[in-house]
Amino acid sequence: MTDYLSIKQVMEQGSGEVAIRGWVYRERGSKKLKFIVLRDSTNIIQCVIARDDIGDEKFGIADKIQIEASMEIQGTIKKEDRAPTGYEILVKDFRLVGESDKFPITKDQSVEFLADKRHLWLRSRKMTAILKIRSTLFGAYHDYFRGQGFYEYQSPIFQGIQCEGGSTLFEVNYFGKPIYLAQTWQLYAEPAIFSLEKIYTLAPSFRAERSKTSRHLTEYWHAEMEVAWSNFRMIQDYGEGLLKHLVKTVLEKNKAELEILGRDITKLQPTIEKPFPRMTYTEALKILKEKCDMEVEWGKDLRTIEEDKISQLYDTPIIITDYPKVVKAFYMKETEGNPDTVQGCDFIAPDGYGEIIGGSQREDNIDKIKENLVAMGEKIENYEFYLDTRRWGSVPHGGFGLGMERVISWICGLDTIKDAIPFPRTMTRYTP
């Protein structure tokens, strides 16, 4: 049995006999030599097959090998400055494992074509790098909350009521009755803080987003937390602590991938080092007016363009708090001493990546919740189970939701959120 090593491992070894396996990333050849750049999940490496070393018959097979064929290669590795990753393997023997005929993806193809061939495009170095960072982030997210004594908890995906507004609900035919796909775990998470106190989840959320933007998916991975006995400041502290931990972990584990993606890591460093500026919505309007020459009427939600402008003034995420009640969800608690605003917070990422976290302290006054629901045209009786949380042993509590793909986009410096998930779902795409 041959002991196959990863390309990363053989490069660390640097000399001697090695065996690797992977897929053909590039190939070119002459009558006497065939150059194959092989890739595996860890890296790429140049391999040279010489007719004189392996004989005419085997060279004939090598000569026909095309991009994305899978192979096993044995040979000697040495340093080679002209090779793409600084090492080269002189091939002694090889086996063609899976043939490949004219791989459909070549250079300079349109975004649409690559989206149609997404299942093959996942093999690209760019997607491989992003998927590795995604994996780091999912792990780091679990570590952060488990490390602080949170329990992982799951809510249903099929839900009978809305939480984040009717306009982005996906309706499902549930044995003839209309129900919805989860926009958030929240209404089913709040009941569980009375048993577990500190909980978190990482699960898909669904939004029927009609907007075709670089920030919206219809299916995204939602990292949510909910905690009993909280105050509004604690919710913001958890969000800031989490983002610092996520960025720090990626910088520790994925320098190589960030380099492949061309991400300027000095832009991520401040997030770890500096406290995030916190400002109220009202203060944000003042800053927008004074520093960005943008006038927003008090009471109007901040639009993407305003979020982008204000975030450009800072090099870390910023936290905007105390939004007008009219633009936020029914469950948010009123600001103390101001019934017109709520203890809700949005975290806006730097570099124009927009809202990455939305959270709040929850309203504990049952009459206020009912009032808000009625004002939205909701039927109170559908929310009775939720209202029960305020009837028996209500405690101050709150939580937030973080869009994993938004954070991946920002950390990786992506042009579109679609590259932050293997098979993106948007208004216009649900295949492959």
Interatomic CA distance for residues 146 and 199, integer angstroms:
9
Stretch that binds ligand 4AD, among 38-46, 191-199, 365-373, 403-411 (CB under 6 A): 403-411
Q: Which residue in the shown chain puts its C-beta closest to Mg ion?
A: 358
Q: Is 422 helix (H, G, I), strand (E, B) or coil?
A: coil
Strand, helix or coil for residue 400: strand
Burial 12-43, CB ≥16 within 10 A → b, else e: eeeeeebbbbbbbbebebeeeebebbbbbebb
Q: What whole-number distance in Å separates Cα of residue 359 and Cα of residue 398? A: 8
Rounded Cα–Cα distance for residues 401 and 164 (Å): 12
245, 256 Cβ separation under 8 angstroms: no
Q: Quick one: 25 or 206, whose CB is closer to ligand 4AD?
A: 206
In the list Mg ion, ligand 4AD, none, the entry touching 399 (Cβ below 5 to 8 angstroms by class) is ligand 4AD
Site string for ligand 4AD, 149-178 (x = CB under 6 A): --------------xx--------------
For residue 283, the 8-state DSSP code is H
* Contact partner, 344, from ligand 4AD, Mg ion, none, Cβ < 5-8 Å per class: none
Pick one of 350, 358, 398, 399: the residue that binds Mg ion (CB under 5 A): 358
Question: For 215, which DSSP code?
Answer: S
- Considering the rule CB under 6 A, would residue 224 count as an interface residue with ligand 4AD? yes
Task: State yes or no: residue 400 binds ligand 4AD (CB under 6 A).
Answer: yes
198 binds ligand 4AD (CB under 6 A): no
Q: How far is the CB of 308 from Mg ion (least distance, A)?
A: 15
Using the minimum distance from each CB to Mg ion, give the nearer residue, 183 or 316.
183
Cβ at position 371, least distance to ligand 4AD in Å: 19
Contact stretch for ligand 4AD (CB under 6 A) within 41-49, 128-136, 213-221, 290-298? 213-221
Contacts of 158 (CB under 8 A, 6+ apart): 172, 174, 179, 180, 181, 182
First to last CA, the chain: 38
φ, ψ (nearest 5 deg) of residue 288: -60, -40
361: part of which helix (H) or strand (E)? Answer: strand 354-361
When asked if residue 359 is in the footprint of Mg ion (CB under 5 A), the reply is no
Distance CA 154, CA 133 (A): 24
**Minimum separation from the CB atom of position 361 to Mg ion (A):** 15
CA–CA distances in Å: residue 260 to residues 126, 338, 417: 7, 49, 18
- Residue 344 binds to ligand 4AD (criterion: CB under 6 A): no
User: Residue 209 or residue 283: which is nearer to ligand 4AD going by CB?
Assistant: 209
Choose, by CB under 6 A, the member of 405, 409, 412, 424 that binds ligand 4AD.
405
207 near ligand 4AD, judged by CB under 6 A: yes
- Compute the distance between CA of residue 142 and CA of residue 241 in angstroms, rounded to an integer: 13
Interface with ligand 4AD includes 217 (CB under 6 A)? yes
- Identity of the residue, 350 or 401, whose beta carbon is nearer to ligand 4AD in the bound complex: 401
Query: Using CB under 5 A, which of the segments 97-105, 106-114, 171-179, 350-358 binds Mg ion?
Result: 350-358
Cβ proximity of 253 and 418 under 8 Å: no
- 163 vs 243 by CB, closer to ligand 4AD: 163
CB atoms within 10 A of CB 416: 14
CB of 338 to ligand 4AD, least distance (A): 21
The DSSP-derived string for 27-43 is: EEE-SSEEEEEEE-SS-
Task: Give the pair of three-digit tokens for residue 64.
Answer: 């026909």
68 binds ligand 4AD (CB under 6 A): no
Q: Name the residues that contact ligand 4AD, by CB under 6 A.
A: 163-164, 183-184, 186, 207, 209, 216-217, 220, 222, 224, 355-359, 399-403, 405-406
Q: Name the residues that contact Mg ion, by CB under 5 A.
A: 358
